[in-house]
Structure 1
Amino acid sequence: MEEDIQISFLNKLSCFFLIVLFLGCDTPGKILIKNETQDDVIYRYYKKETDENVAIDTVSIHVPALSEKYIILGFGSLWTESQLKSYIQNLQKIELIKATDTIVLKDKVEIYNYFKKRIKGVHKDEIEIIIK
């Protein structure tokens, strides 16, 4: 009887770890904007629509001083080379706006290189932009 309880517990424990393992493999792709300055910053990107008759979508993310914000892109969005190129293909430009200056990235290669060197995480699921 006691042996059956131990086997049942081990089976349940094994199932639990398998579920956690499979859920952990499909993590959402993220872009972290971390503001380490004493001033507020704005991360702004201009997204092209596939339909040329639709206006360009502008998204501005306000990041207060000494804080961080995430852009969550969805499950399975690991930053592989093809995924990164696909994401960048839809961007027209990116702006990082600080009180003292603004960084503007317009060229696809420039945006790719900027993001590529900031990929982090065990699953390469996060792009980390630190503003100092």
Structure 2
Amino acid sequence: MTSYAVDSKRQAMRATGIVDEVKEWEERDGKRRPSEIQARDEDTGMPLWSVEVIYKQTSWGRESSVTGRVIVGMPQRPVLEEYARVEFVDLRAEVRVNQAGGLVESWSADRVADAKSATASTPAAGKAA
């Protein structure tokens, strides 16, 4: 599949604050489904995270807001402020045609630029804030 480099500074994206583990897929009983195991980047071995973002898109001369997910490899869960602008290192987009004939975008990046980790910014469990 063809991948295109995207300038993260020019493609403005805002974090929704939602970050999830990317799960490995497994096949059981002839069906594919996500497992309980977090997927890792094949090249770096880093755990993969799905960062939900919102951005503006123009299609057929009409602007609209789109929610998407950028897959990043980072040692810890990135913590992003809700609706704050977010930039990525080596942001890439892949576009393909789905079975219904529509276009589907897939986003990935090496990492989030200037992200905090969950362990560094989360209060200790059981302590009052």
- Length-normalised TM-score, structure 2: 0.25
Higher strand residue share: 2
Relative contact order higher in (CA < 8 Å, ≥ 6 apart): 1
- Length-normalised TM-score, structure 1: 0.25
Q: Which has the larger radius of gyration?
A: 1
Higher helix residue share: 1
